Amino acid sequence: MRVAVYPGSFDPVTNGHLDIIARSSRLFDQLYVVIMQNPQKKNTFSLDERVEMLKMVTKDYNNVGVMAQMGLTVNVAKELQASFLIRGIRATMDFEMELQQATANMALAPDLETVFFVTKPENSFISSSTVKEIALNQGDISNFVPASIVDMIMEKYR
């Protein structure tokens, strides 16, 4: 069974994230979307809100599970018996950071493969930070996040 983990903060989940989830779910028997908790990172949405949003937008995928974890991603993958880590790359800047992380993960868990998905052009400029900035200024985020969570995000900024 091919098991993969797609880690991230998902603060909030975007159409870019959802595209990678959809594409990954077709390649793997089981995909775990894991919200990795980083105590040094200030998140806008609570852990419960992020889990709720991810569960809402992935409800139609039978082989996708959503959870939150702490610690090293490689340890989470090992606990879930995953052999693959999923990462998305939007630009050169992402590639450099992701390559560094993937190399560190190889040293920690040589049997864990990192699989990179190149973001589709229509999602290449979307980031959670961009979505939050637009929402903060009461802009229209409907082209950047799944429709089912637009109101939940905008409510945070009212």
Task: Tell me whether residue 128 is one of the annotated catalytic residues.
Answer: yes
Task: Tell me whether residue 156 is one of the annotated catalytic residues.
Answer: no
- Could you say which of 24, 25, 83, 128 is catalytic? 128
Residue 63: strand, helix, or coil: coil
What is the distance between the alpha carbons of residues 137 and 66, in angstroms, rounded to a whole number? Answer: 30
Task: Tell me whether residue 17 is one of the annotated catalytic residues.
Answer: yes
- Could you say which of 17, 50, 87, 132 is catalytic? 17
What is the distance between the alpha carbons of residues 30 and 21, in angstroms, rounded to a whole number? Answer: 11
- Work out whether the CA dihedral 3, 58, 124, 128 comes out positive or negative: negative
What is the distance between the alpha carbons of residues 8 and 97, in angstroms, rounded to a whole number? Answer: 14
Task: Tell me whether residue 59 is one of the annotated catalytic residues.
Answer: no
- Could you say which of 9, 55, 78, 90 is catalytic? 90
Q: Which residues are catalytic?
A: 17, 41, 90, 128
